[in-house]
């Protein structure tokens, strides 16, 4: 008993004040990419050709955050002349096309459907489905339950059954072998329901694009309400998107 | 022991001509002799060349990696009949190449996909049909027998897989674990695509083992292109692998505590795991270490400032971690649930070929960091860990001990200021006609990649093995004669990878 109490005091209070107070991530964290409109055509083409995720459009000067894994190779290659990554982790969008960006993202709150806030603003129960996810997205959703993030204080929980859920959160590139199970989980969730795609895989196939065993993204199968990019998205990216979209 | 297999070196390419290509009967006899004599299977896989299928085995004995190959017969006498550690590997060869191991006692599909050469399907499956196709679940007969089917979608935020329990009352007679839902066809994706995509693909083989798999790939490419890695990069990569180990072990100790309803460590470990992930974030901008390791070195430096920050954080965390681990193992209600739960004998662990903490918990001390050291491990002293009991307690204890050991290892490396060059370019010109195998001890155990190049230096076969490929059958064995309500506890004590297995 004494030992339990001693540990309790040593651990202290750990819950983050975000979103009431801003929070800063370490310098090497790569968040929202910004394209320099004045960059030379050569730099743009070089970065587009070198991008392992084929996420850069040299002509339109955009980065597709739905394909990008935020490795930062393009930033290094152009020495920041073409793309640079900011510390901004607030990356969620309500539309797939918003992820194709030169650096500006529309305010997520403006694109949230009014009835979602009314229905789910005070209580949102989500069922997570991993469909060939590598366990990084899953792990960084799971941590939202730890004391630092403490998702439950906002009335948001991950539940065990789709029957108890207001929506599904999908991770992974949706393998052929998981497609039916995913669709059945979606069908088992009572309407009205939301669909959230978390991570580059769920949005576009991510690192596995081109494999005949995976899909090209969740939107090819289901209507998606919220897109959260990253490989994996930082837990704060997830938290920001959920709070901004539903609260 | 005298053998027709030849010794190869971890991470160093061997000319294919130097690897014995044996007649199949000799290959079979020699492979069996090594493994029956106490050796283990690191790799056993097929590859296609000029329309013929060939087999390659990489085995290990006490301190050597041994390799040989042969032409694959269309059907052959299964090695598994005489030697269980080949069990999963023969099923995988059957699924990938349509080669039938006759008399295999458990010839079931591994991941559910058509084979690579459109040969008649060994399992009689038509892959237009959904998984699991024609899969025969093992069934126990009897009036009071009932089956419990769980998954693929589970009740938590975890990966998918199907578990089939045959029970009498609450007692599990047999658990069958049926995977494949996560299959993304990673191996053909690697050989079929530009090398530039490799680091990003391998970091997603199992995201919780991004460093382990990233290192195996990087070391293989470094071997094939004769690339030297500087001392600073070797230290950074070793630190990253140890952070990965600590974060996962700490998280799982918390999960185990939660499963026996002792909530304080469950919450503390959840938070502290995050603190370790945040140190990987500090090093390279990603909590899982994605983007750090590349062939030739690392993409981020370790500056004096970095060493200072990381050391400061570890100094603050170390006592907290030690105290929580002490609290966990010092609580009698925890010990009452851990002790004796899901025990696997040392002999069974050997037959199943268990690796990593799961093997060490059964008294098999093998640790690739000691036996086949890579990176900076030659300069470190890795303690020999082994517990005799093979139960949940032993698996948890090994992991707790390794957390504290790894913290000390990282501290000692952070005291060593060595400059690191930053690399970004992909190396060119792979050695032609070569085989390279890389072995690293990631947090779940032995990770290994094996690459084969053709005469032009193109990689024609990229074989991946995650430790979970060995260990899922350990979890099934743990459940024998165990109450079904102890499944979650046993499952967390292993915490195996679905995607690492399914590839």
Verify whether the Cβ–Cβ distance B264 to A8 is below 8 Å: yes
Verify whether the Cβ–Cβ distance A177 to B185 is below 8 Å: no
Verify whether the Cβ–Cβ distance B327 to A148 is below 8 Å: no
> For B74-93, what is each residue's pLDDT tens digit?
999 999 999 999 999 999 99
d(CA B281, CA A212): 32
Tokens 């949102």 belong to residue = A124
d(CA B103, CA A142): 44
> Looking at domain B6-131, which CATH architecture does it have?
2-Layer Sandwich (3.30)
d(CA B140, CA B132): 20
Tell me how far CA of residue B268 lies from CA of B272, B298, B300, B323, in angstroms: 6, 32, 30, 11
- pLDDT at res. B97: 96
d(CA B476, CA B342): 9
Q: Is B436 helix (H, G, I), strand (E, B) or coil?
A: strand
Task: Please give the structure tokens belonging to residue A112.
Answer: 């949230």
B11, pLDDT greater than 70: yes
Residue B427 is given by DSSP the state P
Sequence ranges of the domains in chain B: 6-131, 186-502
Across the interface, of A28, A143, A158, the residue whose CB is closest to B300 is A28
Q: Which residues of B touch A12 (CB under 8 A)?
A: none
Q: Is A113 helix (H, G, I), strand (E, B) or coil?
A: coil
Mean of the per-residue pLDDT values for chain B?
Answer: 95
Task: Please give the structure tokens belonging to residue B103.
Answer: 């008399």
- Whether B276 contacts chain A with CB within 8 A: no
Phi, psi of B452 (to 5 degrees): -125, 130
- Whether A151 contacts chain B with CB within 8 A: no
Q: Please give the average per-residue pLDDT across B479-490, as a whole number.
A: 94
Tokens 């004040």 belong to residue = A17
- Whether B462 contacts chain A with CB within 8 A: no
Tell me how far CA of residue B499 lies from CA of B8, B180, B448, in angstroms: 29, 8, 15
Q: Which residues of B touch A207 (CB under 8 A)?
A: 197, 200-201, 203-204
∠ CA B401-B404-B410 to the nearest 5 degrees? 135
Contact status, residue B14 vs residue B452, Cβ threshold 8 Å: no
Residue B130 is given by DSSP the state P
- Whether B312 contacts chain A with CB within 8 A: no
d(CA A44, CA A37): 10
Q: Which residues of A touch B287 (CB under 8 A)?
A: 136, 140, 232, 234
B299, pLDDT greater than 70: yes
d(CA A145, CA A152): 7
A116, pLDDT greater than 90: no
Q: Please give the average per-residue pLDDT across B312-317, as a whole number.
A: 96
- pLDDT at res. B421: 85
- pLDDT at res. B438: 98
Distance from CA of B26 to the nearest CA of A (A): 37
Q: Which residues of B touch A146 (CB under 8 A)?
A: 267, 270-271, 273-274
Q: Please give the average per-residue pLDDT across B279-302, as a whole number.
A: 96
Mean of the per-residue pLDDT values for chain A?
Answer: 93
d(CA A24, CA A94): 24
- Whether A110 contacts chain B with CB within 8 A: no
Identify the residue among A1, A18, A207, A242 best suited for mutation to test binding to B, counting B beta carbons within 10 A and taking the highest.
A207
Q: Please give the average per-residue pLDDT across B222-235, as a whole number.
A: 94
Q: Which residues of A touch B196 (CB under 8 A)?
A: 50, 52
Q: Which residues of A touch B160 (CB under 8 A)?
A: 129-131, 178, 181
Q: Please give the average per-residue pLDDT across B415-426, as a whole number.
A: 86
Percent of chain A with pLDDT over 90: 79
Q: CATH number of the domain at B186-502, please?
A: 1.10.645.10
Q: Which residues of A touch B280 (CB under 8 A)?
A: none
Across the interface, of A135, A181, A208, the residue whose CB is closest to B153 is A181
Window B:403-442, CB contacts with A under 8 Å: 424
Tell me how far CA of residue A43 lies from CA of A36, A52, A79, in angstroms: 10, 16, 9
B323, pLDDT greater than 90: yes
Going B223 to B224 to B226 to B228, the CA torsion angle's sign is negative
CB under 8 Å to A1, separation ≥6 — which residues? none
Neighbours of B37 (CB within 10 A): 10
Q: Which residues of B touch A231 (CB under 8 A)?
A: 200, 204, 286, 290
Verify whether the Cβ–Cβ distance B424 to A207 is below 8 Å: no
Q: Please give the average per-residue pLDDT across A5-24, as a whole number.
A: 90
Across the interface, of B130, B206, B283, the residue whose CB is closest to A134 is B206
Phi, psi of A117 (to 5 degrees): -65, -40
Distance from CA of B360 to the nearest CA of A (A): 24
Verify whether the Cβ–Cβ distance A207 to B330 is below 8 Å: no
Cis peptide bond N-terminal to B234, omega within 30? no
Grade residue B47 by pLDDT with cuts at 50, 70 and 90: very high
B156, pLDDT greater than 90: no
Verify whether the Cβ–Cβ distance B194 to A52 is below 8 Å: yes
Length of chain B, in residues: 503
> For B378-387, what is each residue's pLDDT tens digit?
999 999 999 9
Percent of chain B with pLDDT over 70: 100
Q: Are strands B293-294 and B297-298 parallel, antiparallel or unpaired?
A: antiparallel
B471, pLDDT greater than 90: yes
Identify the residue among B149, B182, B266 best suited for mutation to test binding to A, counting A beta carbons within 10 A and taking the highest.
B182
Verify whether the Cβ–Cβ distance B278 to A26 is below 8 Å: yes
- pLDDT at res. A108: 84
- CA-nearest of B407, B388, B282 to B343 is B388
Exposure b/e, B110-128, CB count within 10 A at least 16 = b: bbbbbbbeeeebbbebeee
Q: Which residues of B touch A139 (CB under 8 A)?
A: 207-208, 251, 288
Cβ-count burial of B287 within 10 angstroms (0-12 exposed, 13-18 middle, 19+ buried)? buried
CB under 8 Å to B394, separation ≥6 — which residues? B361, B362, B387, B388
- CA-nearest of B216, B177, B339, B334 to B264 is B334
Task: Please give the structure tokens belonging to residue A115.
Answer: 């009835």
A114, pLDDT greater than 80: no
- Whether A73 contacts chain B with CB within 8 A: yes
- CA-nearest of B361, B367, B366 to B348 is B361
- CA-nearest of B29, B98, B95, B38 to B57 is B29
- Whether B385 contacts chain A with CB within 8 A: no
Contact status, residue A87 vs residue A31, Cβ threshold 8 Å: yes
How many CB pairs below 8 A link A and B? 196
Contact status, residue B322 vs residue B401, Cβ threshold 8 Å: no
Grade residue B133 by pLDDT with cuts at 50, 70 and 90: confident
Grade residue B1 by pLDDT with cuts at 50, 70 and 90: low
Cis peptide bond N-terminal to B334, omega within 30? no
B324, pLDDT greater than 80: yes
- CA-nearest of B202, B227, B216 to B431 is B227
- Whether B322 contacts chain A with CB within 8 A: no
Verify whether the Cβ–Cβ distance B157 to A8 is below 8 Å: no
d(CA B368, CA A131): 32
Torsion from C-alpha of B333, B336, B342, B347, nearest 10 degrees: 140
Q: Which residues of A touch B199 (CB under 8 A)?
A: 52, 71
> For A169-200, what is each residue's pLDDT tens digit?
999 999 999 999 999 999 999 999 999 999 99
Across the interface, of A143, A160, A213, the residue whose CB is closest to B185 is A213
């Amino acid at each position: 008993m004494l030992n339990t109490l001693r540990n309790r005091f040593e651990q202290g209070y750990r819950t983050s004040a975000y979103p009431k107070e801003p929070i800063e991530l370490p310098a090497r964290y790569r968040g929202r990419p910004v394209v320099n409109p004045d960059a030379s055509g050569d730099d743009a083409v070089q970065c587009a050709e070198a991008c392992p995720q084929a996420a850069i459009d040299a002509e339109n000067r955009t980065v597709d955050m739905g394909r990008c894994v935020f490795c930062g190779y393009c930033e290094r290659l152009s020495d920041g002349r073409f793309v640079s990554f900011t510390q901004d982790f607030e990356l969620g969008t309500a539309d797939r096309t918003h992820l194709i960006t030169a650096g500006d993202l529309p305010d997520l709150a403006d694109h949230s459907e009014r009835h979602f806030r009314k229905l789910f603003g005070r209580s949102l129960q989500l069922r997570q489905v991993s469909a060939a996810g590598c366990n990084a997205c899953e792990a960084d959703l799971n941590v939202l339950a730890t004391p630092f993030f403490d998702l439950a204080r906002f009335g948001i929980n991950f539940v065990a059954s789709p029957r108890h859920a207001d929506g599904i959160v999908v991770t992974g590139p949706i393998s052929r072998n998981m497609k039916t199970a995913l669709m059945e989980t979606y069908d088992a969730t009572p309407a009205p329901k939301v669909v959230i795609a978390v991570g580059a895989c769920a949005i576009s196939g991510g690192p596995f694009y081109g494999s005949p065993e995976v899909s090209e993204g969740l939107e090819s199968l289901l209507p998606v309400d919220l897109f959260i990019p990253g490989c994996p998205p930082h837990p704060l990216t997830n938290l920001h998107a959920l709070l901004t979209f539903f609260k | 022991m005298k053998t027709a297999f030849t010794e190869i070196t971890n991470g160093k390419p061997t000319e294919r001509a130097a690897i014995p290509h044996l007649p199949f009967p000799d290959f079979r006899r020699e492979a069996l002799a090594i493994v029956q004599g106490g050796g283990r299977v690191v790799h056993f896989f097929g590859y296609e060349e000029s329309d013929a299928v060939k087999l390659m085995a990489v085995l290990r004995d006490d301190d050597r990696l041994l390799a040989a190959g042969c032409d694959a017969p269309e059907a052959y006498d299964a090695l598994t009949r005489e030697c269980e550690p080949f069990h999963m590997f023969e099923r995988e060869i059957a699924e990938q190449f349509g080669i039938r191991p006759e008399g295999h006692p458990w010839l079931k599909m591994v991941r559910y996909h058509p084979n690579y050469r459109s040969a008649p399907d060994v399992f009689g499956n038509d892959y237009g049909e959904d998984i699991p196709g024609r899969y025969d679940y093992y069934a126990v007969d009897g009036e009071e027998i009932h089956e419990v089917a769980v998954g693929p979608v589970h009740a938590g935020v975890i990966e998918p897989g199907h578990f089939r329990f045959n029970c009498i009352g609450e007692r599990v007679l047999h658990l069958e674990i049926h995977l494949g839902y996560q299959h993304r066809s990673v191996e053909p994706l690697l050989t079929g695509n530009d090398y530039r995509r490799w680091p990003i693909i391998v970091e997603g083989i199992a995201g919780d083992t991004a460093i382990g798999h990233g290192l195996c790939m990087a070391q293989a490419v470094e071997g094939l292109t004769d690339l030297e890695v500087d001392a600073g990069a070797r230290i950074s990569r070793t630190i990253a692998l140890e952070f990965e180990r600590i974060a996962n072990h700490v998280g799982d100790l918390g999960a185990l505590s939660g499963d026996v309803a002792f909530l304080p460590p469950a919450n503390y470990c959840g938070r502290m795991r995050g603190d370790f992930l945040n140190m990987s974030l500090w090093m390279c901008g990603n909590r899982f270490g994605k983007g750090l390791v590349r062939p030739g070195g690392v993409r981020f430096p370790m500056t004096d400032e970095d060493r200072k920050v990381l050391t400061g954080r570890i100094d603050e965390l170390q006592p907290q971690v030690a105290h929580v681990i002490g609290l966990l193992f010092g609580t009698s209600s925890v010990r009452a649930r851990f002790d004796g739960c899901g025990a696997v004998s040392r002999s069974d662990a050997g037959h199943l070929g268990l690796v990593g903490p799961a093997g060490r918990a059964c008294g098999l001390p093998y640790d690739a960091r000691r036996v086949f050291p890579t990176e900076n491990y030659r300069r470190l002293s890795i303690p020999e860990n082994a517990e005799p009991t093979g139960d949940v307690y032993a698996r948890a204890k090994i992991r707790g001990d390794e957390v504290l050991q790894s913290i000390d290892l990282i501290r000692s490396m952070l005291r060593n200021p060595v400059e690191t060059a930053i690399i970004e370019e992909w190396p060119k010109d792979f050695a032609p006609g070569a085989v390279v195998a890389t072995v690293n001890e990631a947090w779940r155990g032995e990770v290994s990649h094996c690459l084969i190049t053709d005469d032009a230096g193109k990689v024609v076969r990229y074989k991946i093995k995650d430790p979970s490929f060995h260990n899922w059958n350990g979890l099934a064995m743990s459940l024998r004669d165990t109450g079904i309500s102890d499944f979650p506890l046993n499952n967390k004590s292993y915490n195996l990878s679905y995607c690492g297995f399914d590839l």
